[in-house]
Structure 1
Amino acid sequence: MSWLVLGGSGFVGSEVLRALRAAGVDAVPAAAPRLVTAADTPEALVAEAALLDGAGLRAAMAGHSVVVNAAGLATPSSGDVQALLGANALLPAVVARAAAAAGVGRVIHLSSAAVQGRTPVLDATDTVHPFSAYSRSKALGEQSIDRVAADEPALSVVTIRATSVQGRGRPTTAALARLARSPLASVASPGSARSPITSVEALAGLVLAVGRYAGPVPSRVLQPWEGLTVRTVLEAAGGRPRILPAALCRLAVGSGYALSGLLGGRLDGHVRRVELMWFGQDQVPGWAEEQGIPPAPRVREVLARAQDRADDGGAPID
């Protein structure tokens, strides 16, 4: 079995490559084309994908059994809507079309649980509630690749919804370690809510398991919970979070979203990060747990490494 990893030089793609090679899988990286688009519906995205010349991608995919689409823009605060749509919504459709033409057996598309927004419990259904330009582009990417897959019955297309992935070299991980050790570190009482914080190593392990699975795989797979609560996340990163009254936290979050609404939603991302720190986000057990193949939890190690780097004087973690 030979694998091609699009975006193999990026944060997630490079870890996927490392995990594949460590498992003895023949895997090579490839760069994805840079796309921009104004199309903002699944129908328009699929139609545009059909007009693009995918010869370069088809040639790169030839002879590979599995293609992993780890390319895209992981920039939740970006305001460049056309770039987000090109990388996160149009590219998945282009990849799926090229893979079908190249005779690839399975495409694994990496998406984000952000597509479900503030829903209390994450799942692997096609229900989405995007709340930002980034999450909307990822939701459209899922919908556009689904439409291509529906027309290509010989191609297995699986979307993995990654949760809040942390790891070495990611600025958000360094920022989380700094926050944990700051006076702002706090959680809503009692602090036992599940946190969606996960590790890039576990995500790579899930990609490996999905690609190797011999039977049918559902169209969406949710990255499993790694066992941390909102309190233990901050503690693992070296913090001693304060426990705040839950009612006060809910009032603050509601006020934050109200203010953001007056500003055209510009503060939604910042308010959402605080909400996740205080309240976390639950998730249902998914396909990997049902099959007994969830990846080994690694997030405690990731956060401990980030804490150690902070102890070394804030040295970069990449």
Structure 2
Amino acid sequence: MAELQGRALPVTAVSAPRLRCEASTAQEIAAEAVAVASSPQEPSFATLRRVFDGADVVINAAGLATPGDGESPELTGANALLPAMVVLAARAAGVRRVVHLSSASVQGHTASIDESPTRAPFSAYSRSKARGEEVLEILAGDTVGGAVVTVRATSVQGPTRPTTRSLVRIAASPLASVASPGTAQTPVSSINALAWFVVETGLHGTAVPALVLQPWEGLNVTEVLSAAGGRNPLRLPAWLCRSILAAGYGISKLAGERLQGPLRRVELMWFGQAQSPGWAERAGLVPEPALRDVLRQARGDED
């Protein structure tokens, strides 16, 4: 909203309906969305269809950003059924393009995240986001010209986000550490850069691929922790970090994946994750890096 308003572009905020979905596969979720959209008495779809009327671009930034949660109808409803409802309502309203915000977590522990349809979710949250992507692929299979675009957001930080405040506290503590040599690329990014990129994607005048990745902001794991904590992190032997993570994921599996979210954050802190250049780089749509400033601002707010 702030990015659009800063460009003096007309923008309307829409409160997303709270949906529940018991379905477990993308095919079932897509079928449920189509059934709901076909019912003239369904208030949530009718409301979306009405408020989308006359819009050029619809950006779906709604969902449940709760990496630590377990499987639930609410999580599936917010992250998989809602995107489908948005796309169907936008299509009925004649909207030119829908931009849906997904998460790079759908690719799990892969060495390098990219714009491929390959997915390896590792938690309830990442599975719900992966299903959201799959549902849109089913519904958008017959569209052309970038009518439905999924943006895979990376590890997005903002001064007021709880995950960022947690990162700042850890970075300023003796727990701040990286796996040696501490130069691994990290997908940690800023809300500023994401907002800019999403708006550019929505406004782009020519066709956009169906799946695009938020560009890298250029920092490695040591630089992120230094900016967030104001101190250099400890360097730990890589073998020790891998051993701790392997044990942790084993315990988490036995505990019903309850530790997946925290363990993944530790893994990213230590080892980061590379990302392959994609459409943004080819199209020249790489935002100005803002991550250092965002982390320093969050650190100042904590102080």
- Superposition TM-score, scaled by structure 1 size: 0.90
SS in 1 for 2:235: strand
User: What do the CA deviations read for 1:24-77 (whole angstroms, capped 9, x no partner)?
Assistant: 211110111110011111111111111213211110000000000011101111
1:27 corresponds in structure 2 to 11
Whether the aligned pair in 2 keeps the contact of 1:100 and 1:152 (CA below 8 Å) is: no
Aligned mates of 1:295, 1:92 — CA distance in 2: 25
Aligned mates of 1:145, 1:212 — CA distance in 2: 20
2:35 corresponds in structure 1 to 51
Alpha-carbon offset, residue 296 of structure 1: 1.1
Q: Flag the 1:206–1:154 CA change in 2: closer, same or farther, 3 A.
A: closer
1:6 corresponds in structure 2 to none
Residue of structure 2 aligned with 1:158, choices 149, 169, 173: 149
Aligned mates of 1:153, 1:197 — CA distance in 2: 32
Alpha-carbon offset, residue 155 of structure 1: 7.0
Aligned mates of 1:147, 1:120 — CA distance in 2: 27
Residue of structure 2 aligned with 1:98, choices 68, 83, 89: 89
Whether the aligned pair in 1 keeps the contact of 2:66 and 2:125 (CA below 8 Å) is: yes
SS in 2 for 1:30: coil
Whether the aligned pair in 2 keeps the contact of 1:187 and 1:279 (CA below 8 Å) is: yes
Alpha-carbon offset, residue 23 of structure 1: 1.3
The answer as to 2:161 corresponding to 1:170 is yes
The answer as to 2:180 corresponding to 1:189 is yes
The answer as to 2:282 corresponding to 1:290 is yes
Aligned residues: 295
1:261 corresponds in structure 2 to 253
SS in 2 for 1:104: coil
SS in 1 for 2:178: strand
Aligned mates of 2:301, 2:146 — CA distance in 1: 43
The answer as to 2:208 corresponding to 1:199 is no
Aligned mates of 1:263, 1:216 — CA distance in 2: 45
Q: Output the amino acid matched with 1:60.
A: V
Alpha-carbon offset, residue 131 of structure 1: 0.6
The answer as to 2:238 corresponding to 1:246 is yes
Aligned mates of 2:26, 2:279 — CA distance in 1: 26
User: What do the CA deviations read for 1:184-230 (whole angstroms, capped 9, x no partner)?
Assistant: 00000000001111000100000111011111100011001111111
Aligned mates of 2:34, 2:144 — CA distance in 1: 17
Aligned mates of 1:274, 1:293 — CA distance in 2: 30
Aligned mates of 1:58, 1:25 — CA distance in 2: 21
For structure 1, the 5+ residue unaligned runs are 1-16, 312-318
Q: Output the amino acid matched with 2:132.
A: G
Aligned mates of 2:240, 2:187 — CA distance in 1: 22
SS in 2 for 1:150: coil
Aligned mates of 1:142, 1:65 — CA distance in 2: 22
Whether the aligned pair in 1 keeps the contact of 2:182 and 2:235 (CA below 8 Å) is: yes
Aligned mates of 2:56, 2:120 — CA distance in 1: 33
Tell me how large the CA RMSD over aligned residues is. Answer: 1.2
The answer as to 2:61 corresponding to 1:70 is yes
Residue of structure 1 aligned with 2:2, choices 13, 18, 26: 18
- What is the percent sequence identity of the aligned residues? 54
